[in-house]
A and B are shown apart, each in its own frame.
Chain A
Amino acid sequence: MNSLPLILTVFVACAVEATEALTIVLASGLTREWRSTFQGMAVALVVLAVVVAAVGPALTLVPLAGLRLVVGALLAIFGVQWLRKAILRATGHKSLHDEASAYLREVAAAKAATVTSRRGVNDWYAFTLSFKGVFLEGLEVVFIVITFGDNQRNLGAAVIGAAAAVIAITVTGIAVRAPLARVPENAMKFAVGIMLTSFGLFWGAEGAGVSWPGNDASLLGLVPVVALVSLSYTLMLRQRWGTTTAAPVAQSPEESEGVAS
């Protein structure tokens, strides 16, 4: 299978999580101290890299059918949860993730905390805030990198997609020095949810022993079907409640309001 869909899926998923991590890192660095913030970020990135380096190659030793069965089921669960959230946000049943208000909340909490030095770190609050933000957001990316990379037997391509997204978001963050409120996060989450669910269905069923009509080419049909079903649910919920929120794939950042959940 071509590695482009793999790279693109990991890139978009990673860009969403990197945007959320950047908000926390900026709040910590600008209100507390950059040195401790960078230390927290660096430690989190090292831990995440160790997880990929250790678990990724180890999973290649697992037989492909068993791996696809377990990972496919997990990806389908993961993907449906992403889709569910994106649809609820697109129809106004859940607040859209707003990086600007998330940033203000983190800044208020960071300003209120006292400065304490610990284990060679000047500001322990800045360190832990930055570490938690990068580690927790990065964990979802690691899950996607490992599962997609191992199932395709192409961990390198998945790592390239993730690294490209982190670099792109970091460079943009340095350039604007503000939370990336204009990134259409819900539309990106919707797209990633479609890809995760499609790959999860494909691998889960294949791992269970089925032969897909058309083999690998059936994925080309599965992705639009998942997208169509998800968009249909979105439209049905809008019609049911009479909401007029823009379609999730075409949503503009100006429409983002409310607080993140």
Chain B
Amino acid sequence: MKRLKSIGAFWYDFVVGDDWRVAAVVVTAVALTLLLVHAAGVNAWWLLPVCVFGALGWSLHRATAGSKP
């Protein structure tokens, strides 16, 4: 059980990394793009970059808020 937990923790850290919110935003943005393209016929090539840049800024803001280097 302990080994399973450590394997799970390793893969979580490997794929998701330090901030799970970034991963959540990327997955949501990809799903929304898929929906817009196939359900609404919108060529939403801009959506994923906008969401990723926003997620990076948000994550950096959270990581540095209130902490002086």
Contacts and interface: CB of A to CB of B under 8 A. Distances in A.
Interface of A: 69, 72-74, 76-78, 80-81, 83-85, 87-88, 91-93, 139-140, 197, 200-201, 204-205, 207-213, 218, 222, 225-226, 229-230, 233, 237, 240-241, 243
B61 to A, nearest CB: 9
Contacts of A140: 14
A80 B22 contact: yes
A214 to B, nearest CB: 10
B69 A77 contact: no
A98 B56 CA distance: 25
Contacts of B5: none
Given A80-B56, A88-B63, A93-B64, A205 B33 contact: yes
Contacts of B33: 204-205, 208-210
Contact of A81 (B22, B27, B30, B37): B22
20 contacts: A73-B26, A73-B30, A77-B17, A77-B22, A78-B15, A80-B56, A84-B19, A88-B60, A91-B64, A92-B69, A204-B48, A205-B45, A205-B47, A208-B48, A209-B33, A210-B37, A210-B45, A230-B56, A233-B56, A233-B57
A218 B46 CA distance: 12
Interface of B: 14-19, 22-23, 26-27, 30, 33-34, 37-38, 43-45, 47-49, 52-53, 55-57, 59-60, 63-64, 67-69
A241 B69 CA distance: 7
Contacts of A83: 56
Contacts, number: 104
Given A76-B26, A81-B17, A209 B38 contact: yes
Contacts of A226: 49
Q: Give 6 nearest A-B pairs by CB, closest first.
A: A92-B69, A81-B17, A209-B37, A208-B33, A210-B45, A208-B34
- The B interface is mostly helix, strand or loop, or mixed, namely helix
A77 B16 contact: yes
A212 B68 CA distance: 40
B49 A225 contact: yes
B48 A139 contact: no
Given A208-B34, A233-B60, 16 more contacts: A73-B26, A77-B17, A80-B26, A84-B18, A91-B69, A93-B64, A140-B14, A201-B52, A204-B30, A204-B33, A205-B49, A208-B48, A209-B37, A211-B43, A213-B45, A218-B45
A197 B67 CA distance: 27
Given A201-B48, A201-B52, A208 B30 contact: yes
Contact of B15 (A77, A201, A222): A77
Nearest to B14: A139
B22 A69 contact: no
Contacts of A197: 52
A136 to B, nearest CB: 8
A91 B32 CA distance: 33
B64 A88 contact: yes
